[in-house]
């Protein structure tokens, strides 16, 4: 079976408080974006062991720690032996890693979905959401990706009637890795005056001063290329520009048909997408 995990942008991201479990309470708006990896899993008819291969963009770290393989192991722990046979799995990576787009989280969640469908496991949605949360805080979003307001660790979600179909999205990643732990360490949690769930209902042209990503200021200060990237998106005519997640991918929302030709330094990753 072949599936195509997508990614997301964060429209605003506020760090509300620290939690006793070491995580933070936050609020954000997740919006699905049509950039996709490709993930395939088939029964291995040649060997009694799993086989894993990957192509495309580089994935840092030990392949054994890939969220797809962790998702497979997690499911096997929940099921009778041999429910899921040895598999041949392949991931083609097109979404940059560690970029604030949730690409790795999507891969893990889509593996849960793929296995549930392929082997007729009939796991209910809530169980899939619970399993996804064990993989990562934003993995549950990708069980059923649709615009939503998220809070808690990011696992509590409520669908939002947010449509950006009159806009085009420019995604730019400057190839800078932002350490998530460092990024959280730069934030002083605070309760925002207004909820993002309400603010994103305003016209997009009013978002600039009100829909805020708390990570943007410290990351831009530490990495001037991010600050310059945001400045350039606005100079190109973006109605709203921001950093996604803890960075370093930035995006600009442009009225449809107004995106100028894109020219970024060598090593930058860029996509122009209709929403």
Active site residue 138: yes
* CATH number, domain with residue 73: 3.30.230.10
Q: What is the residue whose two structure tokens read 């040895």? A: 86
Instruction: Count up the domains in the chain and report the number.
Output: 2
Give the burial string for 107-141 (b: 16+ CB within 10 Å, else e).
bbbbbbbbbbeebebebeeeebbebbbebbbbbbb
What pLDDT does 98 receive? 81
pLDDT value at residue 22: 78
Q: Do 174 and 149 reside in the same domain of the chain?
A: no
Distance (Å) of CA 164 to CA 2, 129, 203, 209, 255: 28, 26, 11, 19, 10
Cα 234-14-170 angle, rounded to 5 deg: 30
Question: What's the rounded mean pLDDT across residues 17-44?
Answer: 94
Q: Is 8 a catalytic residue?
A: yes
**Residue 215 · residue 13 · CB < 8 Å:** yes
pLDDT digits (tens, 9 = 90+) for 169-206: 999 999 998 888 899 889 999 999 999 999 999 999 99
> Quick one: 215 and 254 in the same domain?
yes
pLDDT surpasses 80 at 158: yes
Same domain for 198 and 138:
no
Q: Which domain holds residue 117?
A: 2-158
Q: Are residues 6 and 142 in the same domain?
A: yes
Q: Alpha-carbon distance 61 to 230, whole Å?
A: 29
Is the pLDDT confidence value at 21 over 90?
no
Per DSSP, the three-state class of 173 is strand
* Model confidence pLDDT, tens digit, residues 52-65: 999 999 887 777 78
CATH code for position 181? 3.30.70.890
pTM higher than the cut 0.85:
yes
Share of the chain above pLDDT 70, in %: 100
- The verdict on 229 and 133 lying in the same domain is no
For position 242, what pLDDT does the model report?
Answer: 98
Q: Helix H segments across the chain?
A: 67-78, 103-118, 125-135, 180-185, 196-199, 216-222, 224-235
Evaluate if residue 236 carries a pLDDT over 80.
yes
Same domain as 75, residue 36? yes
**Catalytic site residue from 37, 93, 107, 138:** 138
Q: Do 213 and 91 sit in the same domain of this protein?
A: no
Alpha-carbon span 250 to 98, nearest angstrom: 13
Question: Among 242, 233, 232, which residue's Cα sits nearest to residue 208?
Answer: 242
Q: Do 219 and 236 belong to one domain?
A: yes
Q: Which of 135, 158, 181 is the last residue of a domain?
A: 158
| Measured distance CA(13)–CA(150) in Å, rounded | 10
One domain for residues 205 and 133 = no
Q: Which of 158, 184, 219 finishes a domain?
A: 158
Using alpha carbons only, give the angle 40, 92, 263 rounded to the nearest 5 degrees.
150
Please return the burial class of 65, using the count of CB atoms within 10 Å of its CB with bins 0-12, 13-18 and 19+: exposed
Q: Verify that 40 and 83 share a domain, yes or no.
A: yes
From the candidates 8, 37, 93, 214, which is the catalytic residue?
Answer: 8
- Please check whether residues 7 and 126 belong to one and the same domain: yes
Whether residue 45 is predicted with pLDDT greater than 90 in this model: the reply is yes
Instruction: Identify whether the C-beta of residue 37 lies closer than 8 Å to the C-beta of residue 93.
Output: yes
pLDDT tens column, 80-111: 999 999 999 999 999 998 889 999 999 999 99
- 45 and 143 co-located in one domain: yes
């Amino acid at each position: 079976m072949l599936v195509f995990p997508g990614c997301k942008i964060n429209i605003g991201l506020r760090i509300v408080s620290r939690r006793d479990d070491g995580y933070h309470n936050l609020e954000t708006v997740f919006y699905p974006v049509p950039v996709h990896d490709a993930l395939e899993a088939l029964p291995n008819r040649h060997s009694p062991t799993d086989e894993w291969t990957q192509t495309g963009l580089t994935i840092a770290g030990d392949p054994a720690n890939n969220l797809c393989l962790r998702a497979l192991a997690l499911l096997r722990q929940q099921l009778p032996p041999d429910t899921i046979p040895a598999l041949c799995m392949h991931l083609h990576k097109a979404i940059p890693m560690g970029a604030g787009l949730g690409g790795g989280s999507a891969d893990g969640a889509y593996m849960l979905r793929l296995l549930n469908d392929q082997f007729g496991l009939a796991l209910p949605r809530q169980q899939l959401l619970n399993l996804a949360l064990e993989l990562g805080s934003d993995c549950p979003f990708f069980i059923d990706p649709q615009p939503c307001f998220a809070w808690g660790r990011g696992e509590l979600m409520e669908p939002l009637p947010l449509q950006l179909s009159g806009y085009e999205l420019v995604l730019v990643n400057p190839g800078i890795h932002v350490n998530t732990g460092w990024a959280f360490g730069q934030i002083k949690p605070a309760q925002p005056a207004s909820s993002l769930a309400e603010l994103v209902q305003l016209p997009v042209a009013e978002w600039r001063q009100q829909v805020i990503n708390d990570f943007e200021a410290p990351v831009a200060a530490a990495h001037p290329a991010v600050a310059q990237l945001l400045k350039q998106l606005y100079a190109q005519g973006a109605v709203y520009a921001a950093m996604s997640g803890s960075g370093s991918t930035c995006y600009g929302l442009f009225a449809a048909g107004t995106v100028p030709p894109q020219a970024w330094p060598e090593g930058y990753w860029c996509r122009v997408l209709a929403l």
